[in-house]
Amino acid sequence: MSITNSRLYAFKTLKRIIYQGAYLHLVTKYVNLSGRDRAFFKLIVNLVLKSGYKLFEKLSKEKLSKSEIIALMMVFVELKLLRKERYVVFSQYKTLPEKDFSEKRFLKALTKFENEKSLIKNDISLPNFIVDQIINSKLDISGFTRNFISTPLTGFFILSRTEKTLDLLKSLSGKLYPGKIFKNYYYTESFSEVLEILPQDSYIVISESSMLSVLLLNPKPGEKIIEVGASPGGKSVFLEYILKDYKDKLNRLKKIISVDISKNRISALKKTCEKYNLKLISPTLYTEKTVFDVSDKILIDAPCSGLSTLGSKPDIIFHLKESDIKLLAKKQEDILNFYKDFIKVKGKLVYSVCTFTEMEGKIQIEKFLHKNKNFKTFEGVLSSKYINQDIIIKNGMLDIDWVALSLEPFFICCLEKVDE
Ligand SMILES: C[S@@+](CC[C@H](N)C(=O)[O-])C[C@H]1O[C@@H](n2cnc3c(N)ncnc32)[C@H](O)[C@@H]1O
């Protein structure tokens, strides 16, 4: 029996992700499989990435090739999580047509590790340093891992309230679950099917956690706003949406300076602007010569370890190194220090990262406030027509039980400049 297309694709994809640092969402985007093959391909890639880290650590200490290690992880996932027949799985993988693959060594390793199936986790298998980060952040670890191993429910926000879109939504209602925080936000298990029916510019695929930082910024017509780390522009779309919703003040709207440091990512932001016909967003590539006006509000969506998005990006488990967290925290500190001078007194700064490490969140902001006594955390209530319920803001942060709501636990903090 020879290896099937979906297994071979999954094998090659995993090899690229784990050994060459490729990104899961980019590699899987253009996979040329359809129907059940595609579904199996996605399932096995995700399961290996989410469940296989401990086995990977163990196999990496053996005299095995990269191909053999990937094949072994796939075999154990098929045996343990997918409960496949032993002889079917063995016969599939021993035919792998790879130069660095020895059938003899592979079968020997299979026998040696067969009783260690438990190294493949039913929930999620993480490097110790990530587990430590979860413990330090005081997130409910079992709730957190439970959320991540289940297939991520994918969500989107409806931008258009035309009769046509509303009718389409009504026709899809059996397939949609409501947002946990936002109105006009939906989750679905039939993602591609649902989105195929809706007009392309009538929705945006974005997480509710991402939208919250924009809501906390509370953009208003007439304000000068800078958006830092703007690409590819998910938050830009929601920013412009809120501003354009002030129908009687459209003449007061000002351009938003949406900055990013990466040329490629600025191109992606420009594409987003075209797709959604954004008129207020001004994509700005940061160079040493870029000058900024002192502004009313700044949203910093900083580069980060991304650990809160593990559910949809399990490749992070294999890409992130412990030392990266420190490097990222330093980058974030530099960004905060640079942009703090472009906020006017009584202006607001919202700092957001899609991770939960203390170094990138709580400690980062404590350090900032210690050095900058002219800033304080914003306290109040977030009240908005876009959300189902008011949210209390304590110490600059939204008082939400992220894990209980199955929301990606972002660190979002709002600061006010009180003095020059
Ligand atoms: C989390 S992503 C932004 C996601 C985006 N806000 C969205 O909602 O689609 C962080 C971005 O920060 C950018 N970045 C990194 N360092 C930066 C810097 N010093 N100044 C501006 N942007 C930076 C990265 O290129 C990346 O696009």
Catalytic, out of 273, 304, 354, 413: 354
Q: Which numbered atom of ligand 1 lies nearest the CA of 338?
A: 19
CA distance 49 to 26: 15
CA 122 / ligand 1 centre spacing (Å): 34
Instruction: Look up the CATH number of domain 5-119.
Output: 1.10.940
Average pLDDT score over residue span 362-390: 97
Residue in 211, 265, 352 to alter for ligand 1 test, most ligand atoms within 8 A of Cβ: 265
Task: Quickly state the pLDDT bin for 148 (edges 50, 70, 90).
Answer: low
Nearest protein CA to atom 21 of ligand 1, as residue: 260
CA of 288 to the centre of ligand 1 (A): 16
Q: Which CATH class is domain 208-417?
A: alpha beta
Ligand 1 proximity of 246 Cβ (cutoff 6 Å): no
Q: What is the mean pLDDT of residues 345-360?
A: 97
Dist. CA 231 → ligand 1 center (Å): 6
User: Is the CB of residue 66 below 6 angstroms from any atom belonging to ligand 1?
Assistant: no
Predicted pLDDT of residue 153: 61
Task: Give CA–CA dist 331/303, Å, rounded.
Answer: 8
- Which pLDDT belongs to residue 28? 85
C-alpha 64 – ligand 1 centre gap (Å): 38
The finding on whether 267 has its CB within 6 A of some atom of ligand 1 is: no
In single-letter form, the type of residue at position 413 comes to C
Ligand 1: nearest atom to the Cα of 235: 8
Please tell me the residue having the least CA distance from ligand 1 atom 12. 229
Helix (H, G, I), strand (E, B) or coil at 21: coil
User: What pLDDT, in 10s, does the model give residues 82-99?
Assistant: 999 988 888 899 989 999
Q: Which ipTM was obtained for this model?
A: 0.99
Strand locations in 118-255, DSSP E?
154-158, 176-178, 185-188, 203-205, 225-228
Residue 350, pLDDT score: 98
CA distance 290 to 139: 39
Give 120's pLDDT tier (boundaries 50, 70, 90).
Answer: very high
Q: In angstroms, what is the span from residue 260 Cα to ligand 1's centroid?
A: 5
Torsion of CA 379, 384, 386, 392, to 10 degrees: 30
3-state secondary structure of 339: helix
Mean pLDDT for the chain?
94
Q: Is the CB of 265 under 6 A from ligand 1?
A: yes
Q: How far is CA 175 from CA 171, 179, 213, in A?
A: 9, 13, 28
Q: Which residues are annotated as a binding site for S-adenosyl-L-methionine?
A: 260, 301
> Could you tell me whether strands 225-228 and 295-301 are parallel, antiparallel, or unpaired per DSSP bridges?
parallel
- Please tell me the distance between residue 78's alpha carbon and the centre of ligand 1 in angstroms: 38
Model confidence pLDDT, tens digit, residues 307-342:
999 988 999 999 999 999 999 999 999 999 999 999
Pocket test for ligand 1, best of 206, 231, 281, 351 (most atoms within 8 A of CB): 231
More confident residue, 116 or 324: 324
414 classed as catalytic: no
Rounded-to-integer distance, Cα 284 and Cα 33, Å: 38
Ligand 1: residue whose CA is nearest its atom 1: 303
What's the rounded mean pLDDT across residues 390-398?
97
- Per domain, the residue ranges of the chain are 5-119, 131-205, 208-417
State how beta strands 397-398 and 391-394 pair.
Answer: antiparallel
